[in-house]
Structure 1
C-alpha cells in the first residue's frame, strides 16, 4: 500500500507528463509559500498555467474532480498572485485542475 504523500507525488509526475504530451511546457513544481502552494507551473504558448493536481483512489463523494474546496481555491489564487508579482509576469494566466484517479486523468482548463 502506497501512502497518500507518495500517491500525490506520483499523480503530480503523471500530470506533468500528461500536460507536456499535450503541448505545455514545464516551468516549476511544488511552489510553496506560507499561505499556499502551487502544484505545477506550466506554460501554454505565452499563457501561464497554474495547475492543481488532485488524486483520489476512490470515486466516493465525486472523486478528485470535486475535491477542491473554496478555501483551497483561494489559497492557490493567492499563491499564484504572489508568484506573478515575484517573477514580474505580465501575461495571460489561468488555473487548471488535473483530477487523477486509478482510471485516468481529467484535465479541467480554466477550472476557477
Structure 2
C-alpha cells in the first residue's frame, strides 16, 4: 500500500475516532455502491451523516471542500440513497466533510456539517 493510501486510512480512522467522541454511531466505513464510495456512514439520533474525509499535510493550501466535485457529490448522493433504501431507514440524511490536517506529529480534525445539500 502506498504512503498516500496509508495516510488516507489514518485520516479516516482519526475521523471515526472524532465522530465516536462526539456521540455518533459508526454504521459503515468505506461503503461501496457501483462506482461510488462513502468514507463513513454515521448516525446520531435520527440523522444519518454521509461523511467524506479529506486528509492533508500542513503543506496543503486551499479549501479542501473545493476538492469535492459535482461528480463526486452525485456519486455520494446515489450511494447514500442506496444505503438508506437497502436498510429501510427512515432518517434525515446530511452530507458532511471532515478534514484531517497533519501538523508535525499532531492532527487537527475539522467537521463541516451539511457541507452540501441535495434536493
- TM beyond 0.5: yes
Shift of 1:63: 4.7
Task: List runs of 5+ in structure 2 lacking aligned partners.
Answer: none
Larger relative strand fraction: 2
Match of 1:109? 113
Aligned CA-pair RMSD: 1.4
Hey, what's the Cα distance between the residues in 2 that align with 1:8 and 1:56? 8
Match of 1:11? 11
Alignment of 1:10-89 (within 5 A): 10-57=10-57, 58-60=59-61, 62-89=62-89
Structure 1 contact 64–99 (Cα < 8 Å) conserved: yes
TM-score, length-normalised on structure 1? 0.90
Q: Render the CA deviation track for 1:70-111: whole Å, top value 9, x for unaligned.
A: 111111111111111111111111111101111411100011
Q: Which runs of 4+ in 1 moved over 4 A?
A: none
Task: List runs of 5+ in structure 1 lacking aligned partners.
Answer: none
Hey, what's the Cα distance between the residues in 2 that align with 1:101 and 1:67? 15
Shift of 1:64: 2.7
Q: Render the CA deviation track for 1:25-47: whole Å, top value 9, x for unaligned.
A: 11110011222011101111121
